[in-house]
Amino acid sequence: MHALRLGLRMLGASVRSQMQYPASFVIQAIAHFAITGLEFIGLAGLLARFGGVRGWTLPEVALLYGMISVAFALADMIARGFDAFGSLVRLGDFDRLLLRPMSPALQVAASTLHLRSLGQLAQGAAVLAYATTHAGIEWSAARIALVVAAIVGGTCLFVGLFMAQATIAFWTVESLEVVNCVTHGGVETARLPLSIYPGGFRFVFTFIVPLAAVSFIPAQALLGRTTSALAWAAPAAGLAVACAGAMLFALGTRHYRSTGS
């Protein structure tokens, strides 16, 4: 509990520092929202030109797009601290974190609350709102809970991926850019129905990095395209990835050899 309160105070400090230039921040958030909005309009235009993709209409694709964008934006806000982790290790600053009576993972995560992602969050929410009203879903308490679960699961998944990406810094001196394939590439992949991808992709993104479990599979359940009960429990996979990421980070911390400072 004490650690949590400390974490919140660190986040507060980060927020205050970002709000030092309020005009610049607001402009950037609005611009980010507009630009990601344009991206979606481009996608909409494309789908209009081709009449949907593999049987998925625009509102249905919007459901996928919205859920994964919101999840990613939330994860980006929370876990941006892990971006700078590579330099933390390289400069030997991680030792300072280890000396403090607080979990190092929590310290890294709490170092930044990336407010700029609010622009993307708003855009994802807008797309999701469009999808909920136009995709012809019969809403019930269970379905709403599934959407929330999918978003929470997605956030956990991306946070886990960010942590895993940062953990690589323990062993190579820089974190591998290739992992961006999985995080940013993953978002782009998950925004579209998984059925359009070749078998290898589908396998990787269902079982190895279970993006499908937090976007495609719940979306299928929501749209009534599948009645399997497993689809409703799928978002739990995101939590599993978060746990795996945290465990990986703890493993790296345990075997950490400082580079000195």
Partner 1 sequence: MSPYVAALSARFRVLLRYRAAALAGIVTQVFFGFVRIAFVDALYASTGAPQPLSHDQARAYIWLTQAFLLLGMLGVDPEIASLVRSGNVASDLLRPVDLHSWWMARVVAGRAAPTSLRCLPILVLAIALGQLHLPTLEAAPLVIASLALAVVLGAALYTLVTASLFWTISGEGMGRLVPAIAWFALGIVVPLPLLPDWLQPLLRALPFAGMLDTPVRIWLGHLSGADALAAIARQVAWITTLVVAGRVLVARGVRRLVVQGG
Residue placing its CB nearer to partner 1 in the complex, 61 or 151:
61
DSSP codes joined into one string, 188-205 = HHHTS-GGGS-HHHHHII
Give the CA diameter of the chain. Answer: 59
Q: Does 177 bind partner 1 (CB under 8 A)?
A: yes
Sign of CA dihedral 219, 220, 223, 228: negative
CA gap 43, 2 in Å, rounded = 46
Residue placing its CB nearer to partner 1 in the complex, 52 or 224:
52
The binding track of 49-68 with respect to partner 1, each residue x by CB under 8 A or -, is xxxxxxx-------------
Of 72, 257, 54, 75, nearest in space to 173 by CA? 257
Q: Does 17 bind partner 1 (CB under 8 A)?
A: no
Written as one letter, the residue type at 138 is E
By rule CB under 8 A, what count of residues binds partner 1?
34
Q: Which of 17, 24, 228, 258 binds partner 1 (CB under 8 A)?
A: 24
CB of 54 vs partner 1, minimal distance in Å: 5
DSSP codes joined into one string, 74-98 = HHHHHHGGGGGHHHHHHTTTHHHHH
Q: Which of 15, 19, 171, 201 binds partner 1 (CB under 8 A)?
A: 201
Angle between helices 22-50 and 117-134 (to 10 degrees): 40
Assign 3-state DSSP to the chain and report helix, strand, coil percentages, each to 5.
75, 0, 20
Q: Which of 46, 142, 144, 243 binds partner 1 (CB under 8 A)?
A: 46
Q: Which of 48, 148, 243, 251 binds partner 1 (CB under 8 A)?
A: 48
CB of 57 vs partner 1, minimal distance in Å: 10
Q: Does 28 bind partner 1 (CB under 8 A)?
A: yes
Q: Which of 129, 142, 196, 251 binds partner 1 (CB under 8 A)?
A: 196
Residues lying near partner 1 in the complex (CB under 8 A) = 24, 27-28, 31-32, 35, 38-39, 42-43, 45-55, 176-178, 180-181, 185, 188-189, 192, 196-198, 201
